[in-house]
Chain A
Amino acid sequence: MSLLANTGVLLGKELKTEFRSRELLTTTIIFVIIVLVLFSFTFDPLSDEARRFGSGLLWLAFLFAASLMLQPCFLREQTNDTLSALRLSVSDPFAIFLAKLAANTLFLMVTELLLLPVFAVMYSVSVVGVLPWLVLVFFLGSLGVSIAGTALSSISAQARMRELLLPLLLLPMLTPILIASTEVTAALLDRSPYVLWKGIGFLVAFDIVFLTALWLFGEYLLEE
């Protein structure tokens, strides 16, 4: 069975289990809304400060969301050793990663798109004119976070101090992509919005490099 067909079947399983339990999406969305509301109390939402710091706070909230979502991604497979069953069933182990990172990207995008109106209202920022660009940045940023996060989640799930290990590995690795995403978002939320192509180029490059690395070495990450 082809890589894409296997990925499709596994993605269907990921979505089915999540939408059946709703444990990840619900808790993450509530948590991130609380974070944004708390941040909004620290400065006057009508000031230029809000516009300046808003993008950083937004991506910080997304980072919290990602940490919450990525942790159980491979941990769930440990419960009944289902990861072994998947490894025995798929023709290419990369399908396991592809399905998980696609599901993580989708969940992150859903969280981000639900938060965007909340953010726009609380920080008095107009996002309508730049919405397509924001969606593109959210997609590229979330994809990068998911690729790196899914790979690290597969490593940390097999470790003893797994709850501690993932954030410890994740944060330094995500720093470049968070800086780029924040800069591109800040440019889009400016009083005279513009597209920071250098940042978008960096996000695309990051995604391609990490996806290729995962494709080449992912199989070794799944070994016991």
Chain B
Amino acid sequence: MTPRVSYPAGIRFENVEKRYGGLYALRRVSLDVAPGECVVLAGRNGSGKTTLLRIAARLVRPSGGNVSYSGSSGASGDEKPSDRVRPGFVAHATMVYDELSAEENLLLFARLQGVERPKERVAALLEEVSLTERRRSLVRTFSRGMRQRVAIARAILTQPSVLLLDEPVTGLDSQGIAWLAETLRGMRNAGCTLLMSLHGESEISALATRGIRLDAGSVVDDTSAGAAMSAVLAGAGE
């Protein structure tokens, strides 16, 4: 069972804009994602989902507006500073080194993030993603689905309080998708905030407590009602 996250955190987007020259990727997006919420971002290609996630991960600086993390410790309710939250991020690219093995990749990122007993944590994660037997193989010899499993394992190494996922089912087979759904369910139940972009309905989208549809960089739908959310998610990849 996944232990509860130490400080559940929410994300606040305030009038976030992103321009590339004259092109708007995001237009004054304001959102509040509460701690422990599971939010699915839907929308056509180029609607701004990836940009929003990369801004939330602090990888891209917004042209305007602000993104902040807020949270409180379960015990005392003390506010934690925004920079204390280090989100896990699964991107389009795998974000792992082809020239390192699965184990070396995970150990590298575990050590960089100061994970306690990194070898044990990495061994447990490799077991979880069914890559124990291939742990010493270079990632460049892996299939896309296996790489994606390493990518997801890297993102959840620290048991983050916020997990951002950009089309996380890319390359996964049905077994992989079922494993991911189970893992994300465990993390959501442990108090982790999930913000992810998806194309269409799947086992993963069934976890959502809220659906947001973006179009041309603006929020056009934001709902947590069952039927309306289904409509948002069904139209995700339109």
Tell me the A residues contacting B by CB distance below 8 Å.
Answer: 1, 6, 9-10, 13, 16-17, 20-21, 79-82, 84-90, 223-224
Tell me the B residues contacting A by CB distance below 8 Å.
Answer: 54, 57-61, 86-87, 89, 91-100, 104, 108-109, 111-114, 154
- Hey, which chain B residues are within 8 Å of A1, CB to CB? 111-114
Cα distance A89–B106 in the bound complex, in angstroms: 12
A sample of 19 cross-chain residue pairs with beta-carbon separation below 8 angstroms, ordered by A number, consists of A1-B114, A6-B112, A9-B108, A9-B111, A10-B112, A17-B97, A80-B93, A80-B97, A81-B93, A81-B94, A82-B96, A82-B97, A84-B89, A85-B95, A88-B57, A89-B109, A90-B112, A224-B59, A224-B60
Cα distance A87–B61 in the bound complex, in angstroms: 13
Closest residue of A by beta carbon distance from B158: A89
Closest 5 pairs between A and B when the two form their complex, measured CB to CB = A81-B93, A85-B95, A1-B114, A89-B112, A9-B111
- Hey, which chain A residues are within 8 Å of B99, CB to CB? 17, 20-21
Quick check: B61 and A223 within 8 Å, CB to CB? yes
Quick check: B108 and A80 within 8 Å, CB to CB? no
Quick check: B112 and A81 within 8 Å, CB to CB? no
Quick check: B100 and A80 within 8 Å, CB to CB? no
Closest residue of A by beta carbon distance from B164: A88
Quick check: A17 and B59 within 8 Å, CB to CB? no
Quick check: A89 and B100 within 8 Å, CB to CB? no
- Hey, which chain A residues are within 8 Å of B95, CB to CB? 80-82, 84-85
Closest residue of A by beta carbon distance from B86: A88
Quick check: B100 and A84 within 8 Å, CB to CB? no
Quick check: A80 and B54 within 8 Å, CB to CB? no
Contact partner of B87 (CB less than 8 A), chosen from A17, A20, A86, A88, is A88
Besides the known contacts A9-B111, A86-B112, A89-B112, 9 further A-B residue pairs in the complex with CB atoms under 8 A apart: A6-B112, A9-B108, A13-B108, A17-B97, A81-B93, A82-B96, A88-B58, A88-B87, A224-B54
Contact partner of A17 (CB less than 8 A), chosen from B94, B100, B109, B111, is B100
A112 to chain B, nearest CB (A): 25
Quick check: B96 and A85 within 8 Å, CB to CB? yes
Closest residue of A by beta carbon distance from B83: A91
B224 to chain A, nearest CB (A): 29
- Hey, which chain B residues are within 8 Å of A21, CB to CB? 99
